[in-house]
Amino acid sequence: MRKFWVWARWMFTKIPVYGQLINSDRDSLKAAGVELLIATMFSLLPIWLYPIIVRVGFAEEFWQHAKEFVENGEFFLFSSALVGPLIYSITKKYGEEGTTEEGGGRFPHIKSIQFPYGFWFVIISVFTCVFSAIFFGLMRANTVNNFPINLDRESLFAVSTIMYGFTLSCFFCVSVYRLNLENTTRAFGEDTKDLMKQWEHEND
């Protein structure tokens, strides 16, 4: 049984985007979960606030009003809006590459750390923006009379919902990996300072 779980864990690490979640520390997972909750709550504020008001004030159905705010493809826009933080975290340099002058000599800094699954996240970000722009535009254009393409709005609404959920999962993964890297470089920074002190002491 233990060999099976070791094998299953190893197989999970091979899954693009999600694989390294299993190797992430618990603090990063918790902090990323909080970030995800806050991002979701505020990004969907226009959707749930008004339905709550009309539900409390006028006893009208909540879900009917909530769906009216997203049935025209708005989830495509929300998905694209979440891509911005992903790109920033992916392209940010964690650690520095180069040397600095310290105590009359040169002491190397740690090299830049590549973001986990950086290529995959870039592809996902580009795909999300392009796909969302095309289908949101089609859904909007479909409201115009004599539009030549007959779209299945219910299917596109389902696709937009799935895409938003997938983008949220990518947001969570990026947050976890970013926190892991920040904690790693912080630990490296403390170790580097200790090494620099030892190096300066030996070269005094």
Q: What is the DSSP string of 127-165?
A: HHHHHHHHHHHHHHHTTSTT-SS---HHHHHHHHHHHHH
Whether residue 105 has pLDDT greater than 70: no
Instruction: Give domain status of residue 50, yes or no.
Output: no
Structure tokens at 107: 């002491």
Which range marks the domain in which residue 158 is found?
72-202
Residue 39 in domain: no
The answer to whether the predicted template modeling score (pTM) of the entire model surpasses 0.85 is: no
pLDDT of residue 203: 45
Residue 194 has a pLDDT of 52
Residue 136 lies in a domain: yes
Structural domain count of the chain = 1
Mean pLDDT, the chain, whole residue set: 77
Determine contact, residues 50/134, Cβ cutoff 8 Å.
no
pLDDT tens-digit series, residues 46-98? 787 777 877 777 777 777 767 777 777 788 888 888 887 788 888 877 665 55
Report yes or no on 25 lying in a domain.
no
4-29 average pLDDT score: 88
Is residue 52 in some structural domain?
Answer: no
On whether residue 186 sits in a domain, the answer given is yes
Is 37 inside any structural domain? no
Residue 30 lies in a domain: no
